[in-house]
Structure 1
Amino acid sequence: MKSFEEKLDQYAELVVKIGLNIQKGQRLLINSPIEAADFTRRLTKYAYEYGCKRVFVDWVDTGLNRIHYLNASEEVLKDFIQPWEIDKFNSLADQNDCMLYIAGTDPAAYANIPPERIMYVQKNGADKLKSLAEKRLRGDMPWAIIGVPTEAWAANIFPDLNKEEAVAALWEAIFKTVRVDQPDPIAAWEEHSAALTKKVDYLNEQNFKTLHYKSKGTNLSIDLHPDHKWVGGGHPSTFGTVYIPNLPTEEVFTTPHKYGVNGTVASTKPLSALGNLIENFTITFKEGKVVDFSAEKGYETLKQLISMDEGMLYLGEVALVPHDSPISNSGIIFNNTLYDENASCHLALGNAISMALKTKDISSEEYEEKGINHSSGHTDFMIGSADLEIEAEYHDGKKVPLFRNGNWA
């Protein structure tokens, strides 16, 4: 049996070698909660062992952020990202360096803060770092998102355990989601990525026109964009490497037509957004646009989220994940999008993902005329369940089952 230290080392190496696939001479920027300092040091060590030229760390302190959100003026929040920060990110992107984001902050870290104040900062960042996001999604800059337990996050998920037990339980859950519990995690990931690629190849060969979703609370049709491309598993960079942006990942995803979404969809897992949880919500679309919505909890947060800009009223991503998958089978609701989206079929409000289009180098300015959604935001929400049925429709009107009882038909 592996020791805890062995699992930590294997996880760190997996992130560096398979997630980022760091090459000799590349630099790495890690965005990390201060509570994850120990694992960040471990990642830094492995990055250097794999030839990284220099590792930089941006520390995230939710307590400090909370003070900013509550006390800084609205004017400051709307101009929060400074020019030197933009220069830093662009320097990394222009040299094909890597970025790693560590998720792990308290899902309710910003509870009782007016959500619009959080949105000011997020929108400012999205607008000012727009070119960086485009380079990243195009594959100019390998990146990945991973999870590391923090006491607050662990307590949120395992409220009946004491502090130490909750953190330990969350570590073990994360190790399973990223296959560190298997004898050879790197080999397991290579096999898993190949399986996702096989599913992607099938979907691209079929070239479906429309997906029809039905489950409790959901009756929705989504036209796929004529230029859509299914993506999943490893992603090629523009300079020949392959990296895996999400660890874990169980999804294959593509691009909907901005104006081709009609019907109502019900969420099946809580959504952590703007530092708050949104639960048991429904969204109704007509000709692509959100025309109605409700939420049992977090209604005002959902309202602020979709009011970020016009594009947040439309879908930018369609993703398929079988209900019978490792994260779903764990029975754990992580209250963290990285994990919960990979336990469930999901959709995303906001910006389309350029790598999920056949045509390369479509500028965001061209998105509108081509029926591709453009937004400063991109928020995934989960809709998968054991009763989800999806029918796929070809261009000639023929329909075939794609999902039955929440899983691939």
Structure 2
Amino acid sequence: MLKKYAQLIVRQGVNLQKGQDLVISADVECAPLVKEIAKEAYKAGARDVIPDYSDETLTRLRYENNEVDYFKEVPDYIKHLRNDYALKHAAIVTITSANPELLKGIDPQKVMARSVAMHTECNVFYDHLDRMIDRWCIVGAPSLKWANKVFPDMSDEEAMEALWNAIYHVTYVDTEDPIATWDKHRQSFEERVKILNEMKIKTLHYTNDLGTDLYVSMNKGYLFAGGGSYTTDGVYSFPNMPTEEIFSSPDYLKTEGIVYASMPLNYNGSLVEDFYIRFKDGRAVEYDAKSGRDTLASIIESDEGAHYLGEVALVPYDSPIRETGILFYNTLFDENAACHLALGKGFSECIEGGYDMNFDQLKEKGVNNSVTHVDFMIGTKDLSITAITEDGEEKPIFINGCFAF
């Protein structure tokens, strides 16, 4: 199963091309998967595979023993690793496995300072990812503490096996031919994307019994995308595995109303639970949380762009991830169990001609820019989404949490 997973990541996830470098970022606990990915990458013709390892324990110690100013600087070796390989158009695989409570109790300003510094100093790297110049893929692999969080009543061995099996299931690795299954998965996305892009939506109206009552306006020339994406060299890949979402970038200045989160948000190891955000003229003007409010504040206050939406994502309530009944405490998985929104940066692929625009031009078209992009889940079993089209028609997009078409 690990070999099948590695094959899927290389062949479909980043769709590695012959002669291309591959950088794999992962915790040391994920070394077995890193090695399998490397084997498959070389079979696919990789020029080189570069492991970029971290260690959860050391990460925690670093945050405990340094002040905020330390995290405002990025070591040269990290800048060179990211920016230099971006200039070589290396493919990037990131393996997420962190303990959901890794940074519990850590000052969120430290976490945000590091995030801002990374996006500033590694600007070439992030620009290439944001603008789909280079291919990337985020995947999951269990760590013991993550498995224990998801399955607290199991033994260590049972929890690890259960989390592996859940990951294999929601990424379709447990099917007879995962690569062929993902080809079919792609086709299902393309059918709905076509409908949404031809609908000429002006506004999306979200309501549910949690209290959500939100109007999100779309840009003229908006584009929905889903499943995978083409990089600028014309190669198709899947940036997220799993993925069940169809997404776009709204007009960042025209969101009105209130939205309630339907699931906890795990942000860099800190949990935000039972929270809401109120928007006026696109901007988050009020927010609160039952727990983790400081973390939520650090996200929204990270820069001006983080006060606005960069993404609307449609995920049916009956998605395979939701049907597992598992709360993963990991955004990669949980965002694919429910409709979600994202604060921060929007996507150049979500506006006509966006790949040829710089950030200022994208902003003029209504696509938000920020140093951050943070998804939070809003989908529920009773979620209703109604599209108001440019000619004034109202068309159902979601009824009772699922697509109306």
> 1:275: which partner in 2?
269
Q: Deviations over 1:77-102 (max 9, x none)?
A: 111x1234223222222222200000
Q: Is the 8 A contact 1:278 1:299 kept in 2?
A: yes
Distance in structure 1 (CA, Å) of the matches to 2:350 and 2:126:
14
> 1:205: which partner in 2?
198
Q: Is the 8 A contact 1:316 1:349 kept in 2?
A: yes
> 2:135: which partner in 1?
142
**Aligned amino acid, residue 94 of structure 1:** L
- SS of 2:316 mapped into structure 1: coil
Identity between Structure 1 and Structure 2 (%): 40
> Could you tell me which of 313, 316, 320 is aligned with 2:314?
320
Offset at residue 297 of structure 1 (A): 1.2
Offset at residue 22 of structure 1 (A): 0.6
Instruction: Determine if the alignment matches structure 1 residue 105 to structure 2 residue 71.
Output: no
> 2:356: which partner in 1?
361
Distance in structure 2 (CA, Å) of the matches to 1:397 and 1:44:
53
> 1:346: which partner in 2?
340
Structure 1 length-normalised TM: 0.96
> Could you tell me which of 292, 297, 319 is aligned with 1:298?
292
How much is the aligned-residue C-alpha RMSD, in angstroms? 1.2
Instruction: Determine if the alignment matches structure 1 residue 370 to structure 2 residue 365.
Output: yes
Q: Is the 8 A contact 1:282 1:293 kept in 2?
A: yes
> 1:406: which partner in 2?
401
Distance in structure 1 (CA, Å) of the matches to 2:338 and 2:89:
32
Structure 2 length-normalised TM: 0.97
For 1:1-400, list aligned pairs within 5 A. Answer: 7-79=1-73, 81-216=74-209, 217-359=211-353, 360-400=355-395
**Aligned amino acid, residue 143 of structure 1:** W
Q: Deviations over 1:101-142 (max 9, x none)?
A: 001110110111111111111111112223322211222211
Distance in structure 2 (CA, Å) of the matches to 1:126 and 1:97:
18
Distance in structure 2 (CA, Å) of the matches to 1:265 and 1:74:
31
Distance in structure 1 (CA, Å) of the matches to 2:17 and 2:180:
19
Distance in structure 2 (CA, Å) of the matches to 1:91 and 1:48:
21
**Aligned amino acid, residue 76 of structure 1:** Y
- SS of 1:160 mapped into structure 2: coil
**Aligned amino acid, residue 119 of structure 1:** M
Distance in structure 2 (CA, Å) of the matches to 1:335 and 1:100:
20
- SS of 2:207 mapped into structure 1: strand
Q: Deviations over 1:210-244 (max 9, x none)?
A: 10000022000000111321111221122221110
**Aligned amino acid, residue 286 of structure 1:** K
Q: Is the 8 A contact 1:29 1:98 kept in 2?
A: yes
Q: Is the 8 A contact 1:119 1:274 kept in 2?
A: no
Number of equivalences: 402
**Aligned amino acid, residue 114 of structure 2:** V
**Aligned amino acid, residue 385 of structure 1:** T
Distance in structure 2 (CA, Å) of the matches to 1:116 and 1:137:
24
- SS of 1:30 mapped into structure 2: strand
